[in-house]
Amino acid sequence: MFEETKNRGLFSAQQDTSDITVAKSFMTQVFGWMTLAMVATAITAYLFASSDALINTLRVVVDGRTSLTPLGWFVTLSPIGFVLLMSFGFQRLSPAVLTLLFITFSVLMGMSLSFILLAYTAASVYKTFAVTAAMFGIMAVTGYTTKTDLTKFGSMMMMGLIGMLIAMLVNFFMQSSTMDYIISIIGVLVFTGLTAYDVQRLKRIGAGAGEYGEANTRKLSILGALTLYLDFINLFLFLLRFLGDRK
């Protein structure tokens, strides 16, 4: 009896160690894909903001008024479609196609965010990016290492996100600066909290990655990278409202 109990304990310990190893490998893939997407976005944004020829493919300035070209509208609206396509097409899309969509999405986001580099000073953009990276890193480590179950906390953050989106829609018509300020505060809090929740959720997914098969594991890592990428970008944009200095 003692020997059987001992063997069971040893097997459980080995299983836990295996799960931890698999989860670490999965999270490495997730952050690797996220980093690649961030680099693609940053390079694209810089290239378009630095080149009149490129930026003019996205906008037209007439009598001091700026309007978007057809390509500009596509770049602005298409990322939503890409997110929906990658999320709902998970089962049907191959890993190669999903990877291509993710990289294309990150380039389109860079083209869209190039307008930010034109609107804000470079120093304030770099400062905001550094603050965002620090906050994101702290919350990612918290989500990965905490023993507390963040499921209920994540549900609260999702409710906050839905409420924020509704408020943004209402304020689109009201144009209230006070509400815009409140929405920005909520946005920072929501995406800061979602970072910790999403990292913990992805860690749990990663622990069972060995059972999903190589193809599904790669696709899950890309979707995980997309989730964290969106957390980072949205956190950056909301912080920029407080820390950014317009030109």
Provide the pLDDT for residue 11: 42
Q: Rounded distance, CA 163 to CA 3, Å?
A: 56
Provide the pLDDT for residue 46: 94
Per the DSSP assignment, residues forming a β-bridge with 65 are 62
Report how many domains make up the chain. 1
Q: pTM score > 0.85 for this model?
A: yes
Q: 124: Cβ–Cβ under 8 A, 6 or more apart, which residues?
A: 240, 243, 244, 245
Provide the pLDDT for residue 10: 40
The domain in which residue 115 lies consists of: 2-243
Please give the single-letter amino acid code of residue 120: Y
Provide the pLDDT for residue 223: 95
What's the sign of the alpha-carbon dihedral 98, 103, 108, 114? positive
Provide the pLDDT for residue 66: 81
Cβ–Cβ < 8 Å for 164, 186: yes
- For the chain of 247 residues, list the mean pLDDT of each consecutive stretch of 10: 48 53 87 96 95 91 81 92 92 93 96 92 93 96 93 90 90 86 91 95 84 84 96 95 87
Cβ–Cβ < 8 Å for 30, 225: yes
Cβ–Cβ < 8 Å for 187, 157: no
Q: Rounded distance, CA 38 to CA 95, Å?
A: 19
Provide the pLDDT for residue 12: 46
Count other C-beta atoms under 10 Å from residue 55's C-beta: 19
